[in-house]
Structure 1
Amino acid sequence: MAVLLFAGGISPALASDPPVKDGVASELLMRADRIRFPDAGFQVDIVITTTTPDGESDERAYRILSNGNSQTLVQTTAPAVDRNQILLMRDNDLWAFLPNLSQPIRLPLSQRLTGQVANGDLARANFVGDYEPKVLRKESLDGDMYYVLQLDAMDRWVTYRKVLYWVNAKNSRPHKAEFYAVSGRLLKIAHYRDFETLGGEVRPTRMIVEDALRKGHVSELEYSNMVKRDLPDKIFTKDYLKKLSR
């Protein structure tokens, strides 16, 4: 993913801007979440291509089955050697099912999955419910106005301690996100691109993730084949996935 940094000037919030209530921040966050993913059960395919400054490239593919932030299944579909590796997220717990192990392994959401992508970036992608939002300011980027939301983690198991999130003031589309560690260090920057019809709505079909600590290390996520589905609870159980991963 060649990362597109913003060349346009960033103007600070105007002194005349009225304060924005937290209720407005929550509404903005909910709208942006609904644009990225459906609010009901769905399936989507994701290809993640990671590149490094020395020209190395790695491509991995996943199929996601999700019932929002409470139940998600992430199945590796490529490369072939890793096929049938499965992540299961239920509520706050994340488990890895590997074909060569008889028992699943518990993992943190913040652990790296591939490239610049953490487990939680796929298994728990919605911000609503995990972060407390507030509006910091409004900014102008290349002629468009954005609300800059600060999202503070509501619990210690959440993938990131803090997120700064740029949401279009006119249409609530997500534009950019900065992800921070507990220490306050900036970990990575995500850019939402290529808004097209996906799963019946206009959504970002590409996300560019830039490593803020290692210049030139970039992952590109491409979303396709999104469909809304009724997903039975049984597929989000350990017993079911033990059979599926064999």
Structure 2
Amino acid sequence: MTDHFRSRRKFLGMFASSLIAPAIAPAAWAAEDAPEAPVDEAAVRIVTKADEIRFPRDSFQTEIEVQNFSDGEPGETRKFRILSRGNENTIVLTLEPVSERGQALLMRGRDLWIFMPSVSQPVRLSLAQRLTGQVANGDLARANFAGDYTPTLVGTEKLDGINAQVLDLTAVDRGVTYAKVKYWVSEKDGRPLKAEFFALSGRLLKSCRYEEFRELAGRVRPTRLVMEDALKKGEISVLSYSNMVLQDLPERLFTREYLRRLS
């Protein structure tokens, strides 16, 4: 049995298990969706601007390296290429490990499928299922806080010496990645600083810090995200963004038929 076949069989086994026991976040939707809240226009503007700082509004391509750590010790490293067309269409291509190259995620709206070379049909996934380490599918495939959450501005506070606006974000429906988010945004320039992700019960699942702001695709953006598990201390994933370019991506790319050819 070749190393490649062993790796593929191991991945399929892990993937099948993840369908039975997805990441913690889906349990957040055990209850009914919350009633619609009144719109806080100031909060919507803050979140929309932060979204546009994190990622371009127009079609783009970028690469992401995810390095996982456990108690300070480096673990698995994965690399992905992201193709995004607006907020509703995204392809996540696996570049490394090489044994999983050809695997792809397709997001259209809040519908998500995985394509694998060894499986004839795509498999439906949830945005909340774990992709690797502390990273959920939706963390890479969908980053549209303004469209997925109803924001409320709850105050201001200092965060690492920076004046930050603090917002509570409530999911608009059960199809999004997290039930609730607490979000810190710089009062001075609108940059995202930190997010905490919660289950519907109010339990903190993980936190994320936005760091190392540099120019990508014509705008200063966070190039490093640090995600830390709130339930298992010391479990961290570091996401590093590079090679972000604006690129015209036709809608025909974002179809299951096209992804079947790619995988």
| TM-score after normalising by structure 2 | 0.84
**Residue in structure 2 matching 1:134, options 140, 152, 157:** 152
**2:111 equivalent to 1:93:** yes
Q: CA deviation at 1:59?
A: 0.3
Hey, what does 1:230 align to over in structure 2?
A: 248
For the structure 1 residues 54 and 45, does the alpha-carbon distance in structure 2 shift closer, same or farther, using more than 3 Å as the test? Answer: closer
Uncovered stretches (5+) of structure 1, i.e. residues with no partner:
1-20
Task: Summarize deviations over 1:89-122 as a string: whole Å, max 9, x none.
Answer: 0012100000000000000000000000000000
Q: CA deviation at 1:182?
A: 2.0
Q: CA deviation at 1:56?
A: 4.7
Hey, what does 2:132 align to over in structure 1?
A: 114
- Between 1:140-149 and 1:209-218, the stretch displaced more is 140-149
| TM-score after normalising by structure 1 | 0.89
Q: CA deviation at 1:54?
A: 7.0
Partner amino acid, structure 2, of 1:226: M
Equivalent positions of 1:181-196 (< 5 A) are 181-196=199-214
Tell me how many residue pairs correspond in the alignment: 225
**1:56, 1:190 → 2: CA distance?**
18
Hey, what does 1:177 align to over in structure 2?
A: 195
Hey, what does 2:56 align to over in structure 1?
A: 38
Q: CA deviation at 1:68?
A: 2.6
Partner amino acid, structure 2, of 1:129: G
- Between 1:185-194 and 1:54-63, the stretch displaced more is 54-63
Q: CA deviation at 1:55?
A: 2.4
**2:220 equivalent to 1:202:** yes
Q: CA deviation at 1:230?
A: 1.0
Task: Summarize deviations over 1:185-213 as a string: whole Å, max 9, x none.
Answer: 10000000000011110000000000000
On the 8 A contact 2:57/2:87 being kept in 1, the answer is no
For the structure 1 residues 241 and 175, does the alpha-carbon distance in structure 2 shift closer, same or farther, using more than 3 Å as the test? Answer: same
Q: Secondary structure at the match of 2:145?
A: coil
Partner amino acid, structure 2, of 1:30: T
Partner amino acid, structure 2, of 1:42: F
**Residue in structure 2 matching 1:76, options 89, 94, 114:** 94
On the 8 A contact 1:68/1:126 being kept in 2, the answer is no
Hey, what does 1:13 align to over in structure 2?
A: none
Partner amino acid, structure 1, of 2:181: V
Partner amino acid, structure 2, of 1:90: R
Hey, what does 2:15 align to over in structure 1?
A: none
**2:85 equivalent to 1:67:** yes
Q: Would you identify which runs of 4 or more consecutive aligned residues in structure 1 move more than 3 Å?
A: none
Uncovered stretches (5+) of structure 2, i.e. residues with no partner:
1-38
**1:175, 1:92 → 2: CA distance?**
25
For the structure 1 residues 133 and 244, does the alpha-carbon distance in structure 2 shift closer, same or farther, using more than 3 Å as the test? Answer: same
**1:182, 1:141 → 2: CA distance?**
25
Hey, what does 2:5 align to over in structure 1?
A: none
**1:205, 1:126 → 2: CA distance?**
17
**2:59, 2:86 → 1: CA distance?**
7
**2:11 equivalent to 1:27:** no
Partner amino acid, structure 2, of 1:174: P
Task: Summarize deviations over 1:121-143 as a string: whole Å, max 9, x none.
Answer: 00001211110001011002243
Hey, what does 2:76 align to over in structure 1?
A: 58
**1:56, 1:43 → 2: CA distance?**
27
